[in-house]
Amino acid sequence: MRLRASAAGALAGDVRVPGDKSLSHRALMLAAMTVGETKVTGLLEGEDVLATLTALRDLGVGIETGSDGAYHVQGVGVGGLAEPTGVLDLGNAGTGARLLTGLLAGHAFTSFLTGDDSLRQRPMGRVIKPLREMGTSFLARSGDRLPLAVTGKTSLSPIVYEQPVASAQVKSAVLLAGLHAPGKTSVIEPAPSRDHTERMLRHIGAEVVTEALDDGRSAITVTGQPELAARDLPVTGDPSSAAFLMVAASLLEGSSIRIDHVGLNPLRTGLFTCLNEMGAAIRTGNGELAAGEPASWVEIEHSRMDAIDVPAERAPSMIDEYPILAVAAALAKGKTRMNGLAELRVKESDRLAAIADGLSAAGVKVEMGEDSLIVEGTGDPPRGGCTIDAGHDHRIAMSFLILGCLSQHPIEVTGAETINTSFPGFVELMNKLGAKIDVAG
C-alpha cells in the first residue's frame, strides 16, 4: 500500500485510540490460563493481536465475540492448553510469538511456530535461553529464528534468570513459564521494563513480588502452579498509538485535541516526559485503574518546541516511540540527541537506520551512531517531497505520514499496509482530526 500525507492545518477533536497492543496480547493469554470466563473489553483488533487470538483457539481455548463487542475467553487453567494440529502462525506479532513460547514451555507436547517474512528474521534466542534452563526443548533455524519447534514439560524447573539487557518480552515469557513450575521463578532485570504482565497477573490472583535489589537492579518473582481467577480485563488505549496524534497536534499551529482513556503506565510514558521537556502543552486527568493499569484522558495543544538530550536509561519506557520522537525533533529548534537505541535495530525493521534514512530524504540533518541518533531541527517545517519505504514496519510508516503532514511538500510512504497490525483506522482517525492522508496514485 502506498499512502501520501500532505501539509495539514490545525487538528481538532475528541477521539479514542485503539487498545494497547501489549496489553491485548497479555489479556488473551492470561485469560486463557484462568478458570472460568473472562470478558476482555477494548481489545486491539489489529492483525498482530488477532494472530495471537487465532493461535490460542488452535490451542483449544474458546474465544467468542459478544454482542457488546467484548471478547469472551473460556479459560483452560494453567497447563490446560491442547496440542495444536497445525503450525501456529503469528504473522508479524513478535510479542505474541515470544510470550506464547513462555506458555507453551509448560505443556508436554510439541508446537511449531512461524510468522511472516519480517518475524522470521527477528531473534528468538533471548527467550530460548532461559526457557531451555527451565527444561524446554527447542529446534530453530540458524540464529535462533523462526520457524521454531517447542517441546515443553508439564513441570518446569524454577530458575533465577539474570537478564543481560532489560526486555519486557523476555521477562514476561519467563514469568509465564514460571506459572508451570513448582516454587518460585525469578527474573532479575538491570533496568525497569514494561510491567504489564506483573500487573495483570496480580489482577487475576497470581502471587508476583517485585523487589529492589541493593545494586540497583530489580527482582520479579512469580509463585508457580496457581489457580488463576477469571476477572474482567479492560484494555486501555495504547500510548504508543496516541503518540502519533500527540506529536502532530503539538507541532501543527492552532491544534487542540483530546484523547480519551489512554494508558499511563509510568513505564510507558517516556515520550510524554520528552515532549514536556521540549515544551509541549500536554495535560492529563487524575486517572483510574483498569486491571491494574492507570489510564486517563490526554489533552494536547500546539506549542513551539526545543531540542533536548534523551538519556539512554529512558529507552525502555519509550522504545516504540523513538520514530515519532525523531519526527518531533525534526521540527524542534536545535539538536536533539537520543542514546541507548540499540534495541531499535532488532524491531520489525532496523528502525534506527530507517529513521535516519527517512529524515535525510525529507531534508533533515541527522547523525546516526551504533546506538544513538542526533536530529537537527530548525524550528520550521522540513522540505519533505520524498518517498519513504517503510519496510513493512507500521511505526515507521505512521511516523513518516505524520512528518508528511508537517512538511512543506507531501511525503509518500510505501509498505504501509502493516499499519493495521497496531492501529487499524489510523488514516481515517487522522483525517477526522484534520490531517490530509490519502492513497497515493
Residues annotated as catalytic are 320
Question: Alpha-carbon dihedral of residues 56, 57, 62, 66, nearest 10 degrees?
Answer: 100
Joined grid coordinates for residue 394: 507500521
CA distance 426 to 432: 10
**Cβ contacts of 216 within 8 Å, gap of 6 or more:** none
CA distance 381 to 406: 6
> Look-up: residue for cell 541493593?
214
Q: What is each CA distance from 252 to 298, 318, 328, 407, in whole angstroms?
A: 17, 23, 11, 10
User: Looking at beta carbons, which pairs linking 132-141 to residues 24 or more positions away fall under 8 Å?
Assistant: 133/157, 133/159, 133/161, 134/105, 134/158, 134/159, 134/174, 134/177, 134/178, 134/181, 134/185, 135/105, 136/104, 136/105, 136/177
Q: What is each CA distance from 117 to 17, 93, 184, 340, in whole angstroms?
A: 28, 11, 37, 27
CA distance 331 to 379: 5
DSSP 154: S
> Are 109 and 181 a contacting pair, CB within 8 Å?
no
> Look-up: residue for cell 477533536?
13
